[in-house]
Structures are given as structure tokens and as C-alpha cells.
Homo-oligomer: A and B are copies of this chain.
Amino acid sequence: MKTFSISEVAKQLNLTIYTLRYYDKEGLLPNVERTISGTRLFKKSDIDALKIIECLKATGMPIKEIKNFINWCSEGDTTLQQRYDMFIERKAAVEAQMEELKKTMEVIEHKCFYYKTALDAGTEDVHKDNKMGRNFAPTY
């Protein structure tokens, strides 16, 4: 079966070899084999595992919790429920992040418009309403 060196995997997944060794040290890669002299041999399934790890990281999951998941996988079918629950929870987390990002986007787009208008006018004063006298604090 074909194997890959740590630097090949690093290049392929856009990670550093430091990061890969760190993940291994943290117990995220319990199935990576070694040569007699200790060099890691990554299989395709290890690369797939790393892709899932990156995906879970992207949901905001800390490495210690990802490690729990990896352990559950090694424990077999008795942990299927935990793993299912975990992915349902991750789905909710991603949905929440998407919602927050949408709100953030609205504010950012409003600011793009605000500054476009100010830039066209040559001054931010176009946005100042002077009903209650001059406001000396910047508006951001």
C-alpha cells in the first residue's frame, strides 16, 4: 500500500511538518505507522483523517475535543451515538457561525457604502447630522 512522508502530507494539506508532528503528539493520528527507524508512514486513510480533523477545526472545535472523537472512532460501534451527536452539534455550531457572519456582512457592507459616499464627497461630514450641535468624536 502506498505511503507518504510527513513532508509530502504537509505539502498536500497545506500544513507544516511541525503541525503534523504536533497533531500526532496530541493523539490525533493514532494510526500512522512507522519504519523500524521511526520515520512516519502516512497512508491514504491517514490523510483522509487529517481532512476530517481540518474540517472539525473549521467548525471551531478545539483539538482536545477532536481527540475525543478520534478515540471514539478507535473504540468502534459502541460510540456511534456519541459521534452522531457530535456531528449534529457541529452542524448547529456551523449554522450559528453562518448566521453571525451574515450579520457581520451586513454591517461591513453598510460601512463600505458609508465610506464610498464619504470618499465621493471628499469628507465624512456628509454623514453628520448637526441637529444637536457639532459632535467632536469620530464616528468609525
Contact = CB atoms under 8 A, between A and B. Distances in A.
Interface of A: 31, 43, 45, 48-49, 52, 55, 58-59, 69-70, 73-74, 76-77, 80-81, 83-84, 87-88, 90-91, 94-95, 97-98, 100-101, 104-105, 107-109, 111-112, 115-116, 118-119, 122-124, 135, 137-140
Q: Which 8 A-B pairs have the closest CB atoms?
A: A84-B115, A73-B138, A58-B104, A87-B111, A55-B107, A52-B140, A45-B137, A87-B112
B43 A119 contact: no
Contact of A104 (B59, B84, B116, B118): B59
28 contacts: A31-B137, A45-B135, A45-B139, A48-B139, A48-B140, A49-B140, A52-B111, A55-B104, A55-B108, A58-B101, A59-B104, A74-B138, A84-B112, A84-B115, A84-B119, A87-B111, A87-B112, A87-B115, A88-B112, A91-B105, A91-B108, A94-B101, A94-B104, A94-B105, A95-B105, A97-B101, A98-B101, A98-B105
